[in-house]
A = this chain, B = another copy of it.
């Protein structure tokens, strides 16, 4: 039972473990931020995150949030979506392959697309021009199914 809750808890445990392996530590603040990211799969803005944080931690300030986010991104546990200034949790524990993020311009939601063929194809194109893919984030602006169907669903 209690699927969501225990899923999130397990994910946090895994995240903590993977940090430990690297000699980093998932402190209380970072853990809270990561938990909030897990709770908002469509992505969340730094200042909305800050507002949430203040409910349990009244003295939270912008640096509190940004430092935690920077840490999580460094650890590969989260990503930043540049276009929308949105942050999302990474879906796969050890982002083995780069991720494609679909950012919906209508509702600002972010979903992650995993498509190995896509990634392979990308790599080939990049290699051909001498580029090297370095960040595991590929952002694509695309209208999400809800907004395609409902014409404004958020």
Contacts and interface: CB of A to CB of B under 8 A. Distances in A.
A145 interface: yes
Given A115-B125, A121-B117, A145-B130, A105 B135 contact: yes
Contacts of A129: 102, 111, 113, 145
B131 A148 contact: yes
A139 B83 contact: yes
5 contacts: A82-B84, A113-B126, A113-B129, A113-B131, A132-B148
A102 B126 contact: yes
Contacts of A105: 134-135
Interface in A79-134: 80-84, 100, 102, 104-105, 111, 113, 115, 117-118, 121-122, 125-126, 129-134
Number of copies: 2
A138 interface: yes
A60 interface: no
Contacts of A145: 129-131
Contacts of A40: none
A125 B132 contact: no
A141 B130 contact: no
A83 B28 CA distance: 28
Given A113-B125, A113-B126, A129-B145, 18 more contacts: A80-B83, A81-B82, A82-B82, A82-B83, A100-B125, A105-B134, A111-B131, A118-B122, A121-B121, A122-B140, A130-B145, A131-B142, A131-B143, A131-B144, A132-B148, A133-B143, A134-B141, A134-B142
